[in-house]
Chain A
Amino acid sequence: MPVLLIIVPLLALLVLNLPWMRLMNRLALWVGLILCLIQFFLVLHSPSFFWEAPPLWLGRLFLFAPSLDYLSLVMFLAIAIVGASALLVCRYSIHDLLEPVKPGACSHKRFLVINLLILALTGMNGVVLANDLFSLYVFLEITAVASYILIVAEKGRDAFEGAFKYLVMSAVATALILAAIALLMLTAGDLSYANIKLAMSASSDSHIVLAAVAMLVVGLFIKGGLIPFHGWLPDAYSAAPAAVSVLLAGIVTKTTGVYTLIRIVLSVIGFSDTLENLLLLIGAASMLVGALAALGQSDFKRMLAYSSISQVGYMVLGLGAGTILGLAGSIFHLFNHAIFKSLLFVNAAAVEQQTGTRDMNRMGGIAEKMPVTGCTSIIAFLSTAGIPPLAGFWSKLIIIVALWQSGHIAYAVLAILASLLTLAYFLSMQRRVFFGKLAAGFENLKEANVWILIPACVLAAITIGVGIGIPWLFETFLLPIRSLL
């Protein structure tokens, strides 16, 4: 019955688009929020009637049998949290038709954005549920197409450039993935993960299979924005409307890129020395280049985008360790990253909306006027930089220990040093934006309104809670990862 996680949002979208414009316009946000909340509680309480019950007749509408394991649950949780935050940011930063708009501007922009957000969330739920390569491909495309349009929701010049880059790079990725699917179908005669895995182990050294795996992995690297395929990511993140950046950075690229990579490696390809070395190399490169590039940014959101590349590097590095511990660290970091990076983008949205600029050099000392935003940004950046007791520290620690134990000492050292770089660029951000004397021209600055403070506080609370609760979470959150291998 987990397939309801796809069907219900889709039905909700249909209903929302029935022709009662004014009413639906008001309802859209709440529908989205309720869907996210339901998903959140379904994961937390995991009632067995929902997750384990045999599929209804509804399920037969789909050609695939949804697969569900521990990893999927973590992803559903992250999708729900980030989705809800993005919706709230949307309420805050995109103006409604009830408020005065410029003539000719799209009068129900917020409605459209919320619809597309729900569509993207549906797509990601599908990616997580998919159990064969073709459904995976379809849902990846649903998510991607929704994202392209979301990026240009504000119709700025930069937005079109960012969306176009994303579109082109993503098209390349899609082509590669599709080609890989075709080749694998040729070998296995079927596209379900299990069958492909069987076929691959039967003909492991065949050139066709190798080519297919290479194309698949590269396609997913592009989707995840890893070095050297990261060119689209900073433009897309920074040009997108605030709510969309939260969604993109927090969860979209992580689901379509990293989660899919983990899933494919676990269920289809399996670990091998070559693959591990490739993952370690690409992961370390992303981690370092992303952090170094972030040091040089003066645009708030661009800096966060590069930081995102760097953190994805950590996840891939953890996966590359090829051990249970590395996998646990990688998944845990994915979850933590979804929380703290969303929080940082929420802060960025608040700052951009209140100050009217993203240029960090023009800001200064605004924590004095925006204390909540300032505090939550400190929590988020400390978590990203891996300062205990926040959540990010534990996932990084697990990744580093895993790397060390699997014999990749050099990579463990790099991962530790990259933490210092992370701290350096975030300190530079804090110094220019929040911590310091109030810059001229911001005397009348006000704290953002409650729509954005709620997600900021909730996300900060989750980061702290996960960090402090680690002895308990270790049993419930991390140990089940063993079942994945």
Chain B
Amino acid sequence: MKFECILSLAVLAPLLGSLLLPLIGRWSERTRNWLSLILVLTSLCMAAMLIPLVTAGLTVSVQLAGFTLFYADTLAVFMAIVSSLVGAVIVLYSFGYISHYPWRNEYYFMVVLFLGAMMGLIFARNLLILYLFWEITAFACWRLIGFFREKSYVLKADKAFLVTVGGALVMLLGFIIIYNQTGSFDLDQIQKALHGRPIANIAVVLILFGILSKSATVPLHTWLPDAGVAPSPVTALLHAAVLVKIGVYVYARLFLTGMEIEPIWHTVVPAIAAISALVSAGAALIETNLKRLIAYSTISQIGFIFLGLSIGNEIGIAGGLLYILMHGIAKGGLFLCAGIVEQNAKTKDITKMGGLITTMPVTAVAFLLCAFSVMGIPPMGGFFSKYMVITGAVTSGNIVITLTFLVGAFLTIIYLLRAFTLVFLGESKLAPGFRPAEGSPSMVFSVAFLGVLSIISGLFINFPSQLVQTAVHQMLGLI
């Protein structure tokens, strides 16, 4: 009972609490800001409190009127910690970033609602509930991308909404096929009804379509770079750390733990991921808009996660999960650094910047640390995850795909170093006399925290990797 309360609180605190934020914001800005941080931290703490339970191999589920509403296993708890951790840092960063703009009430409402829906999605045990939260995240995303309300921005927000909802509707069709095959939307019931038989290929295709649209994988990726028009903390939240991970998480949840799929998918999905990783890395190489560049990098890195999860061996899956954590921290940090740069240098074009390290030392160092982690330089956290994913690919014996990803990893190093050099090093190409200053304290603290976390997660790799090992064992039914 106690654990059920904890689990419900992890979801409901941000979900319902978000409704209060606009009301409180009319009365006190400061209270609203801190309350939103507290709501997200509540999720983080609640998820952390579930660790001892789930690592012991147990699970918790919350029942309501005969439906299994929420369900927590190691995979879910791991994912919840990653999202709420990055989410909390982003909310803290927003204190400084968003204070110059109107519609702040709506901003905090949507961000916290989004994180609440994310929690709901992670702990969902029923396909319909999963779909419900999936759409709430899409809705929050729409409001947040169009936050600045320029006409072209709102158009891009509409595009993101339409692509993700279109994918979700196709996925819903897949769910309906599964429902007809098994007679239930509940994952437990589905598993029982299937008896280890694989689900229909057509359902896999349809669900995969939804997953790829949400995770912005080629060819359904175009909305993600466009979504860079959102405020930077939002891009970090939605498009680096949390939203795009929904797709990979649902892939892991449905196809690695819930249902059997035919073996052919262990080749097809990595192939799609490989194309996605390579194409978007190429796009990142020539992009000059800092936020779009990082967005393309996200698409490319999501390819690595998909590779790890779909390659079909234990080390690959563990690497994929670890990648979600490392990439969430590092890419979140990169976007937040980009936000500081963009807000203070008043441009997003990296060819027009340069030499910013002199005036923004902390941001520059944090950017570099996060970039190292994304590149996979030891001893950063990103190194371990990338290493495990590639090992998984080698173990599977598919040479072409492994080589493609090695090229992708190499390209990552090039484009991130190029971005760093152009933005922070060399002569300043900004207007003469214009020396952009460092961001506000909460912003600088946030990026520094994420940068340091990128190293710490590598140095103390033992803790996350143990959690991931347990998750993988639980997913594959080994305990």
Contacts and interface: CB of A to CB of B under 8 A. Distances in A.
User: A and B: partners?
Assistant: yes
A471 B180 contact: no
A57 interface: no
A451 interface: no
B311 to A, nearest CB: 32
Given A388-B135, A428-B158, A431-B158, A401 B149 contact: no
B170 interface: yes
Which applies to chain A's interface (DSSP): helix, strand, loop or mixed? helix
Name B's interface SS.
helix
A427 B161 CA distance: 9
Contacts of A424: 158, 162
B172 interface: yes
Given A388-B135, A416-B169, A435 B149 contact: yes
A423 B162 contact: yes
Nearest to B103: A368
A46 interface: no
Contacts of B179: 401
B231 to A, nearest CB: 16
A interface bracket (residues with beta carbon within 8 Å of B): 20 to 34
Interface residues of B, number: 31
Nearest to A388: B132
A479 to B, nearest CB: 14
Interface string A134-172: 000000000000000000000000000000000000000
A51 interface: no
Contacts of A8: none
Contact of A365 (B135, B136, B149, B173): B149
A382 B151 CA distance: 21
Given A387-B139, A388-B132, A435 B154 contact: yes
B381 interface: no
A431 B159 CA distance: 12
A397 B180 CA distance: 13
A420 B64 CA distance: 31
A85 to B, nearest CB: 24
B169 A419 contact: yes
A400 interface: yes
B161 A423 contact: yes
Contact of B65 (A365, A387, A423, A472): A472
A405 interface: yes
Interface in B148-178: 149-151, 154-155, 158, 161-162, 165-166, 169-170, 172-173, 176-177
Contacts of A397: 128, 172
Contact of A416 (B65, B135, B136, B172): B172
A411 interface: no
A244 interface: no
The CB with the most chain A CB atoms within 10 A, among B67, B161, B177, is that of B161
B14 interface: no
Interface in A391-421: 393, 397, 400-401, 404-405, 412-413, 416-417, 419-420
B156 to A, nearest CB: 11
B155 A431 contact: yes
B173 A412 contact: yes
B158 A471 contact: no
A325 to B, nearest CB: 12
Given A431-B155, A435-B149, A437-B149, 17 more contacts: A385-B165, A387-B138, A393-B135, A400-B176, A401-B179, A405-B180, A413-B173, A416-B173, A423-B162, A423-B165, A427-B142, A427-B162, A431-B151, A431-B158, A435-B146, A435-B154, A471-B65
12 contacts: A388-B136, A389-B132, A419-B169, A420-B162, A423-B165, A424-B158, A431-B155, A435-B143, A435-B154, A436-B149, A436-B151, A471-B65
A-B pairs with the 10 shortest C-beta distances? A388-B132, A427-B158, A471-B65, A431-B154, A387-B135, A416-B169, A420-B166, A436-B149, A437-B149, A436-B154
